[in-house]
Structure 1
Amino acid sequence: MDMTTSCTSCIFFDNHAANGKAPAADAGLCRFNPPVSQPGPDAHGLWPVVTTNDWCGHFTAQRQTSRAA
């Protein structure tokens, strides 16, 4: 898979850097679909964890200006 069409280049990839935390090494969250709900009523939903070189059929290229904002 070409790195230009992998999760790290996708507009739906969240590396956590935007929320003030250090990015996880080679991992992030896929924000394409809503979080997966958990079985218990008090449990929180979870976003899928992906690596920077993962890919899927929902890839949408990252806009150059959105990372800089």
Structure 2
Amino acid sequence: MSAQACSSCTFFQDHALNSGKSAEAAGLCRYNPPVTQPEADSRGLWPVVKTDDWCGHFEQENA
């Protein structure tokens, strides 16, 4: 896995499924605000990313 992967980024958050368990190899990217949905009364959703994804906004997590 690359050192600059989503799983080691400060903006990455583990993604919990409806069952309360963490989604394996997936998380939420908290860099940008939630993405709006077509329905006006729907809540925005954070982008779901894989732990080994990466982007140009990577910032090393301070553990």
TM range (shorter): 0.7 to 0.9
Normalising by structure 1, what TM-score? Answer: 0.79
Q: Output the TM-score relative to the length of structure 2.
A: 0.86
Opposite residue 44 of structure 2, the aligned amino acid is: G
Unpaired runs of at least 5, structure 2? none
Q: Show structure 1 runs of 4+ deviating over 4 A.
A: none
Q: Which amino acid aligns with 1:5?
A: Q
Match of 2:22 in 1: 23
Larger helix proportion of the pair: 1
Q: Among the aligned pairs, what percent are the same residue? A: 57
How many positions carry a matched residue from both structures?
A: 60
Cα deviations by residue, 1:12-56 (Å, 9 ceiling, x for unpaired): 000047xxx432100000000000111111111010000000000
- Name stretches of at least 5 consecutive residues in structure 1 with no aligned partner: 65-69
1: CA distance, partners of 2:60 / 2:21: 23
Higher strand share: 2
What residue in structure 1 maps to residue 11 of structure 2?
12
Counterpart Cα distance in 2 of 1:14 and 1:22: 13
